[in-house]
Amino acid sequence: MGTHKKHGFWHRYFFSLDHKDIGFQYLLTAMFMAAFGGFFVYVFRYNLAFGPSDIPLYGDLAAKQYNQLVTNHGAIMIFWVGMPILLAVIGNYLIPIMIGTDDMAFPTLNKISYWIFLLSCIVLLSGFLMPTGAFGGGWTMYPPLSVSDFGYNNPNTTFWSNFFTGNTFFLLAVALEFISMLMGGINFVVTTLNKRAKGMSLMRLPLVVWMVNIANLLFMFSVGPLIAGAFMLLMDILVGTGFFDAYRGGDPILWQHLFWFFGHPEVYVLLLPSIGAVGEIISTFSRKPLFGYKMVILMVIIAAILSLVVWAHHQFVSGIDPGAANIFSLLTIIISIPFAGMVLSYLGTLWKGNIRLEIPMLWALGMLATFTFFGGFTGLHLGSNVFDIYAHDTYFVIAHFHYTLFPTVFLGGFAAFYYWYPKFSGRMMNKTLGLIHFWGTFIFFNTIFIPLFWLGLQGQHRRIYNYSAWNDLLMQPEHIMARQIATVSLIFLLLFQFVFLFNFFYSLKKGKKASKNPWEANTLEWQTDSPPPHGNFDPYPVVQRWPYDYNHPEKELDYCPQTES
């Protein structure tokens, strides 16, 4: 332990190898990017409800900018907020302290992964400074739209003029982000397999560690085809190869397959760490063992494998073989079964529990409820290929995937954040502000997206700057009202995040001092100081039992740390 000494500010935040500091760097960077994602959505939702002129804090919005903001909102929220928070922050901060070790297996690789991530953020945002403007063809980058102004299609361009475009920068930023996440992912898996404390068998690992690892493996299995596809797309843009150009032997649908082969598992890559953290929280605050621990892990592995073979449900009407669509529809609907097993296990954990409605528990329950009732169940509507003919590319889809991703990234993310905040800062967050933040976020999140379900069923299609061309269909007073309800709710939702920001920084300095184990939880991170010292444990813990022995009949207390025999 003696090798870990305290470092100064500069060393700590710029050259740190400590997994906790790197996790914190990821967190701050992701929050910074979330501010962009949130601002973009504010601008384009304002436009949809109240028109494109004089948007407060922005000015006038043109159709081209609208497309750019929509595209970058999607990409930022998934790749630069969801991925870093759920994989990098949870993985970096929690894995070593939960498995009882001092740091990652490859600390230098970990540091490099963060700096590449930061570079990817800079590359993405500098896309806005390019002469052609940021990329605006939808975050899915469907060619030929994503190449149409460049390369072969435009004889006036050169390699370098193609290079300095939003499209190229967007692709490069995504590529850099993947490199960073792959480095992190390798690190997490190796650390989990090789650096566990004595007695920490795989079946004694906390669920969230399992989930982060499954998510990382799933990411590695699925990302390969997209990297190949992204390289082809880059070549199409830069030097005018024709991989996705139908008039020169290419095929635009090829990109859609490569993209969604990654794109669908990606949703689960985000979901798993979040649902893992929610599982920890539900077990802790129900004061009950996680029901069916092994089954949950098995179900998640089954769902992860199934998620590799459902990608074409994004393409039911894209021109794929309609016979094949039947199989994808079947598999998509079947994937609800392992998730039902998982959700029912969590509900089994709640059953007969001495539930403590602390702030993290509220977020966790909110996540589970919205994800299941609106996100998961509308998945059955869209998984049915027949109904998807109508609903595809409408706001029904938008509401559906926001009901899966918002609970995953934000509700689950905040649950984890409030839960582990005492550990990472050594202080408790203010509970009243936490309650205000929770109810503000939860209520307004629902009032944004429930109207959007209805608008989608009305036939309101996606990524439209202005619906005035559809006067009869989509510009009736009730449609305008629904859009305004959604937009006003969004503005409130964003405002409530300032409560969180204030609480975050205020509690960091002024919060009540946290004890080692404020929630009376079992896992190893609660056995060390808050915040853990450089090196985490002294001496290393020895693990005696699995992490969910709450209310064990042979124990006096209602919890029993993993180190207790």
Partner 1 sequence: MNIFPESISQIGSEMDKLFWIITAVVGIATVITLFLFIYPIVTRKRNKTKEEMYMVGNSHNKRKWVYIGMMLLFLGDMYILLKEHPIWESVEQTLPEPDFKIVIIGKQWMWNIIYPGPDGKLYTDDDVMAYNELHVPVNKVVHMDIKALDVVHSVFLPQARFKQDALPGRTITRWIKLNKTGEYDISCAEICGTGHSIMRGTMYVEDFNTWEKTMADIYKK
Within residues 250-309, the interface with partner 1 by CB under 8 A covers 251-253, 286-289, 291-295
* Closest among 500, 519, 536, 541 to 31, alpha carbons compared: 500
Closer to partner 1 by CB, 376 or 511: give it: 376
Q: Which stretch binds partner 1 (CB under 8 A): 82-90, 140-148, 408-416, 491-499?
A: 140-148
DSSP annotation of 558 reads S
In whole angstroms, how close is the CB of 196 to partner 1 at the nearest point?
22
Q: Is 390 in the site for partner 1 (CB under 8 A)?
A: yes
b (16+ CB within 10 A) / e for 77-101? bbbbbbbbbbbbbbbbbbbbbbbbb
**Segment 468 to 527, residues that bind partner 1, using CB under 8 A:** 469-470, 472-473, 478
In whole angstroms, how close is the CB of 499 to partner 1 at the nearest point?
24
Q: Is 187 in the site for partner 1 (CB under 8 A)?
A: no
Closer to partner 1 by CB, 11 or 64: give it: 64
Please tell me the distance from the alpha carbon of residue 76 to that of residue 522, in angstroms, as a whole number: 35
Asked whether 59 and 69 are in contact (CB, 8 A), the reply is no
In whole angstroms, how close is the CB of 18 to partner 1 at the nearest point?
36
Single out the residue of 38, 426, 459, 533 in contact with partner 1 (rule: CB under 8 A). Answer: 459
In whole angstroms, how close is the CB of 100 to partner 1 at the nearest point?
22
In whole angstroms, how close is the CB of 335 to partner 1 at the nearest point?
10
Single out the residue of 384, 447, 484, 515 in contact with partner 1 (rule: CB under 8 A). Answer: 384
Q: What is the DSSP string of 33-62?
A: HHHHHHHHHHHHHHHHHH-SSSBTTTB---
Single out the residue of 22, 270, 364, 365 in contact with partner 1 (rule: CB under 8 A). Answer: 365
How deeply is 185 buried, as exposed, middle or buried, from its count of CB atoms within 10 A (0-12, 13-18, 19+)? buried
Q: Which amino acid is at 12?
A: R
Closer to partner 1 by CB, 443 or 457: give it: 457
Q: Is 67 in the site for partner 1 (CB under 8 A)?
A: yes
Q: How far is CA 551 from CA 80, 353, 510, 548, in A?
A: 40, 10, 34, 9
Q: What is the DSSP string of 96-142?
A: HHHHT-SS-S-HHHHHHHHHHHHHHHHHHHHGGGSTT-S--S-TT--
Single out the residue of 157, 284, 345, 430 in contact with partner 1 (rule: CB under 8 A). Answer: 345
Q: How far is CA 339 from CA 302, 314, 344, in A?
A: 9, 20, 8
Q: Is 323 in the site for partner 1 (CB under 8 A)?
A: yes
Q: How far is CA 24 from CA 28, 92, 93, 421, 525, in A?
A: 6, 9, 8, 11, 16
Please tell me the distance from the alpha carbon of residue 351 to that of residue 337, in angstroms, as a whole number: 21
Q: Is 393 in the site for partner 1 (CB under 8 A)?
A: yes
* Closest among 38, 42, 34, 40 to 65, alpha carbons compared: 40
In whole angstroms, how close is the CB of 290 to partner 1 at the nearest point?
8
Q: What are the structure tokens assigned to 272, written together?
A: 């798993």
Q: Which stretch binds partner 1 (CB under 8 A): 86-94, 117-125, 211-219, 375-383?
A: 375-383
DSSP annotation of 197 reads P
Single out the residue of 162, 274, 284, 385 in contact with partner 1 (rule: CB under 8 A). Answer: 385
Q: Is 314 in the site for partner 1 (CB under 8 A)?
A: no
Q: Is 353 in the site for partner 1 (CB under 8 A)?
A: yes
In whole angstroms, how close is the CB of 400 to partner 1 at the nearest point?
12
Q: Which stretch binds partner 1 (CB under 8 A): 13-21, 26-34, 467-475, 496-504?
A: 467-475
